[in-house]
Structure 1
Amino acid sequence: MSSLQIIDQKNPTFFAEAFQKAIARHESVLLVNSTWQTSERTQIKSLLGQDQRPELLTKKSHILIPTGGTSGQLKLAIHTPETLSASAQAFQRFFALERVNCFCILPLYHVSGLMQWWRSHLSGGDFKFGDYQALKRGILPDWDVSNFCLSLVPTQLQVLLQICPQWLAQFRLILLGGAPPWRSLLEQARQLQLRIALTYGMTETASQVVALKPADFLAGKDCAGQVLPHANLSLSKTGLISIAAQSLFLGYYPKFDHPKILKTDDVGHFDQAGYLHLLGRQSQKIISGGENIYPAEIEAAILGTKFVKDAAVLGLPDPYWGEVVIAVLSLKNPSDLDRVKMAIAKQLSPYKQPKHWLLVEQLPRNAQGKLNRIKLRQMIENRYQ
């Protein structure tokens, strides 16, 4: 009979060793972020205490991957070696890679890091851990990275483009996901001929179900890309994305729902060539004066200026408009706010331009670059009380 192994290791090498040993013994594993504090650990303890079913105590391994922390409520997506392998094999086919070599600077407790290890392990490729903090100091590996894949979130790409652009240009493939990238960032990467692959996926699908091949990126495309061979995407009349995939999770622990289709909160459309274009999250949509506004578009315009370190856009209740747009910014120079306003005035319709601006030192983001909107809204409420 199998048991549940909780992997709570700060050292990535020890984390990988513990994970590999558990899977080899057909044990089930729970991946833990070692930086979690009382709130997160209490949530996990509560979830584990709900288990009334024997399915995790079979000889088949189950892999519990945490997700949803930026919404304030953790969930444990249930995967198996089979679902992870379906994703990894589709990745190999889509990018035509016989062996997948990965240089990983993302945490293994997150699907973005775990899948890098799994792709290398499954294909017999090389896997190496990197140190993002060292990279930020300009300390680069002294070995050839030209046959390796690198996964980044947009904020990491922005930082590394300033420090080591020629080193980035050596990678065979740079996967970019986790948050919407902004146009100026992509244009800079394209000018340097970086082999960027924009991606769309989530913990529930074991990473990518859509990706843009580097050749398409270098040819000028900035969309999410094409559907990978293991997945099928459909759109509702309003553009909401639903996903069916061989890599789809089995449910959120402790419920083994085995969903056939995952209905997402993402809105998009396919162009005539079959490429997916993302508009934003339905739940984050702002309705102001009857107009639908997606924060991602405004954030991309703001981040595309040269004056901003980070930015986020939300809607605030308003008695006249219903909602109004507020932009929360971390500026390189606090005196440049007027320049930002002037720059985006040329790009966005008047109803999309923020009516309120809030300057902060830093926005609350996790290690994958995802914004914690609950904490951000709390910051706004505290400021406007």
Structure 2
Amino acid sequence: MGQVIFKDQIYTFDQIRTGNWQQDDKYLSQSLEFCKEWLNGKTDFELSTSGSTGKPKSINIKRSQMELSAAATKAFFKINKSPKLLVCINTQMIGGKMMLVRGLCWDADIYLITPEANPLIDLSLQKKIDFCAMVPLQVEACLKESISTTKLSDIETLIIGGAPPSQSLIQKIKTTGINAFQTYGMTETVSHIALAKINASQLIYHTLPNVKIGTDDANRLWIEAPMAIEKRLQTNDLVEIVADGAFRWIGRADFTINSGGIKILAEALEAELQKYIEAIFGGIQYFVFGQNDEKLGQRLVLFLETKEGDNNKAQELLMILKKEMKKYHYPKEIFILEAFIKTPSGKINRTKTSELCF
């Protein structure tokens, strides 16, 4: 029988089922309450979408869908019986809830940690973690400290979700030799339906068992999966199908910028900009956006999350990009903000952030 371990406190699944605990820690209480509902057979759960491309909305997820997702992940990774799981992401969102569901379905020891930038820095475990999920910012923070880098490398399987990792983070992961996989999924697919091992120059996603994929006429991915909320779920993600059940993610169709009739894929361009931005600003967050323009329809602009005193650096960057990038691929203006607006799951809300400047 599995258990939940939080700091020096241990809660067995039987104890959680009866609600026999008293705890003031909000994160722990919310996590245990979900586990209690699950262990007592609750069949329907209301979850919120991330809101990264629109307003967050509530959707109903069935227990059977979550069970299918957990079973597919177990089969994909060939998880052994009674594994050790580290849960260090928000358990109010689909990624964190599914980590709890996997632990409950796999009869695991669930090591629960309050989400923070570096969840491993103070972690002391006698036994090796078999499975863990993190967001890119957490992985980045862990790799800045030697002690947490070692702990990260000791995790048997690490999955990374919530947002695409930067090229520099991918390179760090490859250099360190961490057994890490980038996830592809959303609340509507009940967490990930495909995973890409981070060990090559390009991330190639492979679907979980019993998941079928294809594209529409605009090369947008559709998904047929037993755990998804619709029989065929049409996404706004532009992809290239490279083999049966395998694809390369290109970017979001709704992030495409049309400037003077030239279509610019935001995420693809951001990958090109990274080396120039990091050379001047280091590893900051940034994104490109299409600002409404009477002549061009949309003009390409760049947002940087850095201190306001960096205007001279921004002008230096603008001059370099104008020289190095194609005519329609360099930003016409750079906006500096000290903090971007984020969704509850930690993604950049591009529209709301841009509205701070437009």
Q: Deviations over 1:207-236 (max 9, x none)?
A: 1111013xxx22x14325111113111101
Post-superposition CA distance 1:274-313 (Å, at most 9, x none): 5311111111211112222111122333444422411121
Residue of structure 2 equivalent to 1:193: 177
Cα shift at 1:350 = 3.1
Distance in 2 (alpha carbons) for counterparts of 1:374 and 1:10:
34
- In the TM superposition, what whole-angstrom CA distance separates every residue of 1:13-60 from its partner, at most 9, and x where no partner exists? 212322232234444xxxxxxxxxxxxxxxxxxxxxxxxxxxxxxxxx
Residue 236, structure 1, aligned to residue 251, structure 2? no
Match of 1:320 among 281, 295, 302: 295
Q: Give the corresponding residue for 2:86.
A: 103
Shift of 1:85: 0.9
How many residue pairs match? The answer is: 326
The 5-angstrom pairing of residues 68-217 of structure 1 reads 68-71=50-53, 73-99=55-81, 100-133=83-116, 135=118, 139-144=121-126, 146-163=128-145, 164-213=148-197, 217=198
Evaluate the alpha carbon distance shift between residue 231 and residue 376 of structure 1 in structure 2; reply closer, same or farther with a 3 A threshold.
same
Mapped partners of 2:285, 2:151: distance in 1: 24
Report if aligned partners of 2:270, 2:288 keep a CA contact under 8 Å in 1. Answer: yes
Measured after TM superposition, the shift of residue 190 of structure 1 is 0.7
The reply on whether 1:349 has 2:331 as its aligned counterpart is no
Q: Residues 144 and 296 of structure 1: is their aligned pair in 2 closer, same or farther, counting only changes over 3 Å?
A: farther
Structure 1 residues 145 and 378, CA, compared in 2 at 3 Å: closer, same or farther?
farther
Matched, 1:18 2:14: no
* 1:149/1:173 contact within 8 Å kept: yes
The answer on whether the counterparts of 1:65 and 1:78 sit within 8 Å (CA) in structure 2 is yes
Per the TM alignment, residue 268 of structure 1 is displaced from its structure 2 partner at its CA by: 0.7
Query: Which has the higher mean CA deviation after the structures are superposed, 158-167 or 17-26?
Result: 17-26
The correspondence for 1:225, drawn from 178, 183, 205, is 205
Q: State how far apart, in whole Å, the 2-side matches of 1:72 and 1:318 are.
A: 22
Q: CA distance change for structure 1 residues 287 and 10 in 2, over 3 Å: closer, same or farther? A: farther
Equivalent-residue separation in structure 2 for 1:288 and 1:157 (angstroms): 35
Gaps of 5+ in 1: 1-8, 28-60, 250-258
What secondary structure is seen at the aligned counterpart in 1 of 2:59? strand
After superposing on structure 2, the runs of 4+ consecutive aligned residues of structure 1 that deviate more than 6 Å are none
Q: Report the CA distance between 1:148 and its aligned residue.
A: 2.7
**Local SS of the residue matching 1:84:** helix
* C-alpha distance in 2 between matches for 1:159 and 1:133: 10
Is this contact kept in 2: 1:103–1:150, CA < 8 A?
A: yes
Specify the alignment match of 2:5 in structure 1: none
CA distance in 2, matches of 1:110, 1:212: 22
Per-residue Cα deviation, 1:82-101 (whole angstroms, up to 9, x for no partner): 10011111111111112443
Which of residues 365, 377, 383 in structure 1 aligns to 2:342? Answer: 365
Give aligned-pair identity as a percent.
23
Contact 1:155–1:369 under 8 Å retained in 2: no
Q: Secondary structure at the match of 2:356?
A: helix
Secondary structure at 1:169's aligned position in 2? helix
Map Cα deviations across residues 61-107 of structure 1 (whole Å, 9 max, x no partner): 21111114345533122111110011111111111112443211211
Distance 1:348 1:178, change over 3 A: farther
CA contact (8 A) 1:200 1:224 kept: no
Give the SS at the match of 1:363: coil
- SS of residue in 2 equivalent to 1:162: coil
Please say which of residues 260-269 and 289-298 is displaced more in the overlay.
289-298
Quote how far apart the aligned CAs of 1:145 are.
Answer: 5.9
Q: More displaced, 234-243 or 330-339?
A: 330-339
Q: Does the 8 A contact of 1:302 with 1:340 survive in 2? A: no
Looking at structure 2, the residues matched to 68 and 181 of structure 1 have their Cα atoms a distance apart, in angstroms, of: 17
